Amino acid sequence: MRIAYLSTFYPFRGGIAQFNASLLKAFCESGNEAKAYTFTCQYPGFLFPGKTQMVTKDDEVAIVESKRVLSTVNPFSYVSTAAKINKDKPDLLLMKYWMPFFGPALGTVAGKMKRSTKSIAILDNVLPHEKRFFDKAFNSYFLKRIDGFIAMSEQVKSDLLKLKPNARVKLLPHPIYDHFGLKTDKTEAQKKLGLDASKKTVLFFGFIRDYKGLDSLINAFNHLDNSYQLLIAGETYGSFEKYGTLIAENANKNNIKVFSDYIPDNAVATFFSASDVCILPYRSATQSGITGISYNFGTPIIATNKGGLAEFIKHAETGMIIEESSPEIIAAAIRQFYSDFDLSLLASNIAEYKKELTWQHFAEEILAFAKKLADIRI
């Protein structure tokens, strides 16, 4: 099949670029002709409070050959991008969609595809975590122009069907990330990060945003004894100041270690190898790519029962589900995790679960869905 994949690719960085690179590779390895198209301008500055959207000289990432064609802030590029993709005569236009801001750009491109090209959007979210005045209009514009959708959680599927009841949608769970290397020696990893090897190590990993509940997790450490340590690793969207204040006032401040920069791919293994458990104390969620990273290293997860998180965490088998993200509940869950769970058994269960969530299977299911759409008059 000829596939045009329009989304975030190198030289942009981050989890979405990593997802796209892994899926593109799976398409190509199964004999398809898949071409990557990406942005000239992805976000204006006010929508990206992180330090940079681009790969830096310190990042070690796989270079993906892509055509930089689409500017989200230049409507003329919407038309020219569609023309360039149409020239390649793809059978499938595949896009990743995670916030309504991209609706006009991606929706226009999809709407200008030839009838022989079917469009599929892989949905991270339909309803955004941080609401803006344009969400409803931009979502509507985009959804009307897409032939089929891939939802990676029941929550996202449900959100989609509320907005587009007749949507053709396929549910596929998020694959396991497999490009971060292998788990390394725990003692060496902890030494490298300046951690105390005698303490129980809890990891919070990924971009730090308000809805992810890091403030509640930090406050939970006021309720834990000196045998626990918290490892925070990830760039902050906005300012880290309020979290820094909570840490400075925390009874266990000496047991909280912070790495507040973007974590490059070649450093990810160190953080997960040093940790016993990864925690997602989210106040809201659909699904999270962090689950796919954590399972890659056999690391169990504690997560709140928000959105689709519970779909990927089998309670007492691959991790632990808690109902709320209050500091008291989080602290109690961490204590229970260490007292009631066998870490080696959890790792064994995760190893079995990983076999079901390969990129190759994900790619094959998308292609089967695309062929089905091609047989339907849309």
- Model pLDDT for residues 275-329, shown as the tens digit of each residue: 999 999 999 877 778 999 999 999 999 999 987 788 889 999 999 999 999 999 9
The model's pLDDT over 12-61, given as tens digits with 9 standing for 90+, comes to 888 899 999 999 999 999 999 999 999 999 977 666 555 666 676 666 66
Q: Note whether residue 180 is domain-resident.
A: no
Q: Residue 227: its pLDDT value, please?
A: 98
Q: Within this chain, do residues 369 and 349 fall inside the same structural domain, yes or no?
A: no
Higher pLDDT, 144 or 375: 144
Structure tokens at 304: 């709140």
The DSSP code sequence of 130-152 is S--TTHHHHHHHHHTT-SEEEES
**pLDDT-wise least confident of 107-111, 131-135, 213-217, 240-244:** 131-135
Alpha carbon of residue 186 to chain centroid: 25
Q: Is 162 in the same domain as 211?
A: no
Same domain, 313 and 217: yes
Residue where the block lists tokens 């080696």: 344
**Structural domain boundaries enclosing 74:** 2-175+358-374
Distance CA 38, CA 275 (A): 35
Are residues 65 and 136 part of one domain? yes
Same domain? For 139 and 17 the reply is yes
For residues 316 and 202, membership in a common domain is answered with: yes
What string of DSSP letters covers 141-202? HHHTT-SEEEESSHHHHHHHHHH-TT--EEE-PPPPP--S-----HHHHHHHHT--TTSEEE
Mean pLDDT in residue range 225-250: 95
What mean pLDDT is reported for the chain? 92
Q: Interhelix angle for 15-29 vs 359-374, to 10°?
A: 70
Q: Is residue 285 one of the residues assigned to a domain? A: yes
The residue-averaged pLDDT of 225-254 equals 95
Residue 124 lies in a domain: yes
Reported as a pLDDT band with limits 50, 70 and 90, residue 196 is very high
Instruction: Give the phi and the psi of residue 109 in degrees, each rounded to 5.
Output: -60, -50
pLDDT in the model for residue 56: 67
For residue 53, being part of any structural domain is answered with yes
- Assess if residue 325 is contained within a domain: yes
Does residue 154 sit in the same domain as residue 286? no
Its pTM stands at 0.82
Q: Is the pLDDT of residue 192 over 80?
A: yes
Check residue 47 and give its pLDDT. 61
Residue with tokens 């076999």: 355
Same domain? 120 vs 11:
yes
Buried b / exposed e along 151-177 (16+ C-beta atoms within 10 A)? bbbebbbbbbeeebeebebbebbbbbb
Token pair recorded at residue 184: 């390394």
Q: Do 369 and 337 share a structural domain?
A: no
Q: Are 143 and 256 in a shared domain?
A: no
Q: Is residue 296 part of a domain?
A: yes
Judge whether 42 lies within some domain.
yes
- Whether residue 315 is found in the same domain as residue 366: no
Q: Does 181 map to a domain?
A: no
Q: Report the pLDDT averaged over residues 79-107.
A: 97
CATH label of the domain that carries residue 237: 3.40.50.2000
Distances (CA, A) of 336 to 99, 118, 240: 36, 49, 29
Q: Which residue spans within the chain are E strands per DSSP?
A: 2-6, 33-41, 66-71, 92-97, 118-123, 148-151, 169-171, 200-205, 228-233, 256-259, 277-280, 301-304, 319-322
| 288 and 163 share one domain | no
pLDDT of residue 378: 44
Q: Choose between 137 and 376: higher pLDDT.
A: 137
Give how many domains the chain has, as a whole number: 2
pLDDT of 126-179, one tens digit each?
988 778 889 999 999 999 999 999 999 998 999 999 999 999 999 999 999 888
pLDDT at 132: 85
